[in-house]
Every structure is written in structure tokens, then in C-alpha cells.
Amino acid sequence: MRVRQRNRTSTPSFSTANFCPTLASVSHCIRTISREAPLSRSFDVLILGAGAAGLFCAVEAGNRGRRVAVLEHADRLGKKILISGGGRCNFTNIHTSPDNFISANPHFAKSALARFTPADFLALVQKHRIPYHEKTLGQLFCDHSASDISNMLESECRAAKVQIFLNTRVTEVRRSTEFILCSDSDEFRAPVLVVATGGLSIPKMGATSFGYELARQFGLGIIPTRPALVPLLFNRSDHHRYSELAGVSVEVLASSAGGISFREKMLFTHRGLSGPAILQISSYWKEGQPLHLDLAPDRRATALLRASNRRNLAAARKALQEILPNRLAARWLEFHAPSTYTNPALDAFERELHDWTLTPGATEGYEKAEVTSGGVDTRELSGKSMESRQVPGLFFIGEVVDVTGQLGGFNFQWAWASAAAAGRSL
């Protein structure tokens, strides 16, 4: 038995989910014993990561009578749930379909999504009497707070007798006849290990590359990761031209080089572009590629201009201000005014407005990304159970897997669906 880094001074691990007095005293034992000799703890299932996927998988497996431990290195569970959806958690989308997901293997998510639907998760939300509403486009949000969802998962874990060990940093994973996970102070053993460590986005909230490293350690492939659902940065010349528009918002049709389009709001920032349209298209954008923005979908800027007998810059500004925010209209004309006011020149002006082609410099990176695209290669996993095809007993669920949802509650739906697929197969 090897336990590394046992130099902690604070409580190394404790359970929050199972509050029975016996366990409370066991937790107390951990505190006192851990510096003397490591504890070895046996379970049926070990789950790494107490986020959306890990907690939900724990509930499903616990309800099937499995003795489940969830190991989490942060000091509280479900941190990302708490900040999601602007604090209200967009916990699912009633229109979820496999088309809402990006993966190198687009068919992979179908089975899990079909077997655990938004209606299934909604039934749980309703059972807990959590008030919710549909905001737009099938997106369901809590009326009050995202903590309703994390509290619900914690309470389900408690009912399923799941043990959650917070502040537990796993330093080593081995496999002999079963999986052995060594934390700073204890050793956890089980025949099944579920990896639910999420992606790389928002490192300050506890995101790590541990899940990917573990996958590599056991010989699984990784589809290269990159930030997704993330604001984009202007290149140098666009920064110079448009950064003063920070705060301006406009509905656009944003299209990627691959022809995917989203019609939603776009926001100018001091550094680049954000808002739902840009977050959505960012997941399909690759460095060096152009983006195409229709700044006035379904509108004709030159209609008024052509009808009037005054064709000049002032008339063009007036016409443009009818369909764009004033600041944007003025700045657009500074750089894209019609060269003349002939019909062909107005055609070109109109075309440019509907196909602003710009090449972003970069994304804002994992610090600002809502999710990570790429991850554990799904060709290595069973679509029914999320179990590794090569390493029996090893499962990957949630964001660590190469399945990335679009904006709008799809990423949580994938967390629940993949967790249910794994939990119900244990």
C-alpha cells in the first residue's frame, strides 16, 4: 500500500452526504488516524469528481444498492452547478437531440440521450418541488437558485447512502484485482472506477486534467481538447476598429467556416465578441478560420436609401440606424461606407453587412470557457454504459468525454444522461 503526500494538517476527507451519527464519528476517526496510518476503505463503486455527472451517477448506483464513494478534491460539491446559468442553472433543454452535441463520433451520445431524457430529469426536479421556468428555446432554469439542483443531488445521495469525501486529492490510481485510489491520507478500493472529473474550463473552480491523464494511463485515446462556448478575441486590426463598441448588443446570424449557423444575440466586448451567438459558434471555430456574421438578418439596410432621392452618407447613416444600434451603425460606416451610391455599390454595401467576415485572433481560453470540447475518445467507450472497452470496470462520464453540448442546458443533460447510463449498468 502506497500513500503519497500525507503532510496535510487540515481534515483530509469527510462525508457530507451521509450524515448518520456513525459516519460522523468515522469522519472524526479519519482526522485522528490519518496522520498515523492510512485508512483503507472498500466500496463497490468509486466515483472521481462530485460535479453534476459524478453525483448523479452516485445516486443511480446507490439506488441499486451499491456502496458508493465519491471523491472530490474541492471543499464543496457541485461548484459548477452553483455558478451555472448565471446562478439559476439551466439544468436541461426540453428539445435535446443528438444534433445539439459535438463529438468526433456523432452517433455515440444517441443511446444514452435516448435512455435518459430531459423529461426524466424534470421528473426528479418536480419530485423535489423545485420551481423552474422555460426561459427561451426549451431552456429550463431554476426560478430561485442553482443551489436547488445541488441540494437536490446531495439529498438524493444521502437517501442512496452515498458517501462523499470532500478535500480528497487523489494522487495515484492503480489497478490489480480492483482499482486502488490513493489520496493524501487514505486508500480507497473498488472493482469499479467512474471518472467524472469534468473538463479544463475555469481552473480556479477546481478543473484539472486528471481525467485525461487517467485515461492515458490506462491506454485510452484523447481527442485534443480546446475551450468551447467561449468569447472570441479580435485580431489586432479589428481590436483597433471595434473595441470601442464594448457593451453594444445586436442580433446576428453567426456562421462558421463549416457552414454551422446560430441566430442569436452578439455582444461587443473590450477584447472581442461574446454573447450567445458567439459562444455557440466558438465551439465550431478553429484558430485561423474566418467567421461570417450577418449583422442584420432578414433586413435590408439599403431599402430606404434606394427609395429616397437623397443618396449620401447622412442618408446611409439614417437608414443603418433603423436596423442597427446607433454606435454600431456609425462605426460600421466609418470602415464600410458605400464607395459610391450607385445601385451596384449599394448592393456591395448590403452584401458586406450580411457577411462581415472576420478572423478572430484567439478564444478567451479555459479561464472564460463554459466547457471543454474534445476529451476521452468515445470509440474507446461503450455507448450503453460508458465503460471502457479495453479496461473492464473503468467508466468515463460527463464533460471529460468527447461529447460537447451547445449552449442552452445541453451540457447538463449530457452529464445526467451519461451518468444514468453508467450508474444503471453497475
**Which one, 50 or 422, has the nearer CB to ligand FDA?**
50
**Which one, 18 or 373, has the nearer CB to ligand FDA?**
373
376 binds ligand FDA (CB under 6 A): no
List the one residue from 90, 100, 167, 302 that touches ligand FDA (CB under 6 A). Answer: 90
- To the nearest whole angstrom, how small is the minimum distance from the Cβ of residue 375 to ligand FDA? 10
Q: Which of residues 190-249 bind ligand FDA (CB under 6 A)?
A: 196-198, 201-202, 206, 208, 210
**Which one, 243 or 425, has the nearer CB to ligand FDA?**
425
Alpha carbons 74 and 403: distance in angstroms, whole number: 24
Q: Judging by beta carbons within 10 Å of its beta carbon (0-12, 13-18, 19+), is residue 209 exposed, middle or buried? A: middle
Alpha carbons 143 and 220: distance in angstroms, whole number: 41
List the one residue from 49, 227, 275, 360 that touches ligand FDA (CB under 6 A). Answer: 49
170 binds ligand FDA (CB under 6 A): yes
Contact 207, 366 (CB under 8 A): yes
Q: Which three cell numbers stand for residue 307?
A: 427609395
List the one residue from 415, 417, 420, 421 that touches ligand FDA (CB under 6 A). Answer: 415
Alpha carbons 244 and 275: distance in angstroms, whole number: 17
Q: Which three cell numbers stand for residue 70?
A: 465519491
51 binds ligand FDA (CB under 6 A): yes
* Per-residue interface string for the shown chain with ligand FDA, residues 60-79, x marking contact by CB under 6 A: -----------xxxx----x
Q: Which of residues 96-135 bind ligand FDA (CB under 6 A)?
A: none
17 binds ligand FDA (CB under 6 A): no
Phi-psi region of 167 (alpha: psi -120 to 50; beta: other; left: phi over 0): left
Q: Who contacts 60 (Cβ-Cβ below 8 Å, separation ≥6)?
A: 419, 420, 422, 423, 424, 426
The strand ranges marked E within 32-124 are: 39-42, 45-48, 68-71, 90-93, 101-102
Q: Which residue is nearest to ligand FDA (CB)?
A: 51
173 binds ligand FDA (CB under 6 A): no
Q: Which three cell numbers stand for residue 26?
A: 468515522
Residues that bind ligand FDA (CB under 6 A): 48-54, 71-74, 79-80, 83-85, 89-90, 170, 196-198, 201-202, 206, 208, 210, 370-371, 398-399, 409-412, 415
